[in-house]
């Protein structure tokens, strides 16, 4: 045994001659310990796709609705899959504010609160730093895209800290008064009327406020080009999501340090076919973007909460979309709560790219913040 160790030592010594010690030591460690874990290279970019109310029942129904076969979504083929808890700090069934806060800050909070937690003394709230703010602090470019109002709970949790998710005026104020960096670089969302009302109270107009902050301002996502550094697009009409996301990525990618992008698509099925269609739209987005984003990009899909939807019946001989309009025997094919009822079961998280291996098994929604931070190679304050 001692002779074997001696021979191994002489082989290692010869291996080190004429080489960089760092490279040689890594090579030797890999040779001697092939089963030891090797730290993955940090991601340059992270794209968080957030399906609002996109729980497992919705994804399952959406795949059949679009492709007439089960497990047909791209999301369902992603290599790393886990199940995320969605509970809030104070409720088993969360709203989007607390649900998104957990994902982007790693902290659970009360329903209705955006990126703040109750203060330790029981009075007031304390802001908690978001993954987007970490990205800004590290000099990365950032983007927020949604088919919902720009002030709504999911997008606002990325950049604003409020005790009440409905405090639109404060959310818009904080949007243009970032705590870290120069704030979100590319913004696309809805509800121009609320923006106008908020900025009027501040003594300005929406356009003037964004232009002063260095944004190209408008209503049409097609105005984005790879040369666009900062843009704010607020419109109330639906828009083609894939071109908007592709244009945003082209712009953010100019930053050599990388980028963080959050894309929210509403999947609430209180309007059943709208919700299913939106789920398919986001799935198509992820499919397209994953083919072009590059190997240095972590792509993560998750829902902030599930929704009260059940696939009750239906036959394979007709497209599901037809059966929704004229169910056989009069029995509903899908039952979805029309009052907007959130549900509390775990939701699927799916990932690919550097850091994606952290998405596995069952975990709290706060774990996804750790996955994204680890992918970037960062430690939380």
Per-residue pLDDT of the chain (381 residues; tens, 9 = 90+): 444 444 544 454 444 444 444 333 333 333 333 333 334 568 999 999 999 999 999 999 999 999 999 999 999 999 999 999 999 999 999 999 999 999 999 999 999 999 999 998 778 999 999 999 999 999 999 999 999 999 999 999 999 999 999 999 999 999 999 999 999 999 999 999 999 999 999 999 999 999 999 999 999 999 999 999 999 999 999 999 999 999 999 999 999 999 999 999 999 999 999 999 999 999 999 999 999 999 999 999 999 999 999 999 999 999 998 998 877 777 889 999 988 899 999 999 999 999 999 999 999 999 999 999 999 999 999
Express as a percent the part of the chain with pLDDT over 90: 84
Residue-wise pLDDT tens digits, 117-170: 999 877 899 999 999 999 999 999 999 999 999 999 999 999 999 999 999 999
Considering the domain architecture, whether residues 200 and 302 belong to the same structural domain is answered as yes
Domain that holds residue 15: 2-32
Residue 170: enclosing H or E segment and its boundaries?
helix 168-175
Tokens representing 229 are 């550094």
**Backbone φ, ψ for residue 177 (5° rounding):** -135, 65
Considering the domain architecture, whether residues 25 and 84 belong to the same structural domain is answered as no
Tokens representing 126 are 């304390």
What's 104's domain CATH number?
A: 3.40.720.10
Residue 95 lies in a domain: yes
Considering the domain architecture, whether residues 12 and 83 belong to the same structural domain is answered as no
305 neighbors 235 (Cβ within 8 angstroms)? no
What is the SS3 assignment for 146? Answer: strand
Considering the domain architecture, whether residues 17 and 129 belong to the same structural domain is answered as no
- Tally the domains of the chain: 2
Q: How far is 115 from 75, CA to CA, in rounded Å?
A: 27
Considering the domain architecture, whether residues 292 and 159 belong to the same structural domain is answered as yes
pLDDT in the model for residue 39: 47
């Amino acid at each position: 045994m001692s002779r074997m160790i001696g021979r191994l030592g002489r082989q290692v010594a010869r291996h080190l001659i004429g080489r960089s010690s760092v490279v040689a030591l890594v090579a030797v460690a890999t040779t001697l310990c092939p089963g030891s874990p090797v730290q993955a290279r940090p991601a340059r970019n992270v794209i968080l796709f957030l399906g609002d109310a996109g729980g497992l029942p919705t994804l399952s129904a959406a795949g059949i609705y679009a492709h007439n076969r089960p497990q047909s979504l791209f999301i369902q083929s992603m290599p790393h899959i886990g199940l995320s808890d969605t509970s809030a700090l104070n409720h088993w069934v969360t709203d989007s504010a607390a649900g998104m806060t957990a994902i982007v800050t790693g902290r659970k909070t009360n329903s209705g609160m955006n990126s703040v937690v109750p203060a330790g003394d029981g009075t007031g709230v304390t802001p908690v730093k978001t993954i987007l703010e970490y990205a800004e602090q590290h000099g990365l470019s950032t983007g927020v895209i949604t088919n919902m109002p720009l002030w709504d709970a999911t997008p606002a949790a990325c950049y604003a800290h409020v005790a009440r998710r409905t405090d639109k005026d404060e959310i818009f104020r904080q949007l243009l008064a970032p705590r870290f960096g120069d704030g979100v670089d590319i913004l696309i969302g809805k509800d121009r009327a609320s923006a106008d009302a908020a900025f009027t109270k501040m003594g300005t107009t929406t356009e003037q406020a964004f232009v002063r902050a260095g944004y190209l301002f408008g209503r049409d996502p097609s105005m984005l080009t790879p040369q666009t550094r900062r843009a704010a697009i607020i419109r109330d009409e639906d828009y083609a999501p894939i071109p908007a996301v592709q244009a945003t990525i082209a712009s953010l990618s100019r930053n050599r340090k990388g980028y963080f992008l959050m894309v929210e698509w509403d999947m609430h099925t209180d309007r059943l076919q709208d919700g299913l269609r939106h789920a398919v739209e986001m799935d198509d987005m992820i499919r397209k973007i994953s083919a072009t984003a590059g190997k240095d990009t972590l792509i993560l899909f998750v829902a902030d909460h599930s929704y009260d939807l059940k696939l009750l019946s239906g036959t394979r001989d007709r497209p599901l979309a037809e059966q929704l309009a004229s169910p056989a025997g009069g029995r509903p094919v899908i039952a979805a709560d029309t009052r907007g009822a959130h549900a509390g079961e775990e939701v699927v998280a799916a990932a690919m790219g550097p850091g994606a291996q952290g998405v596995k098994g069952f975990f709290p929604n706060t774990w996804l913040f750790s996955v994204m931070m680890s992918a970037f190679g960062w430690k939380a304050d």
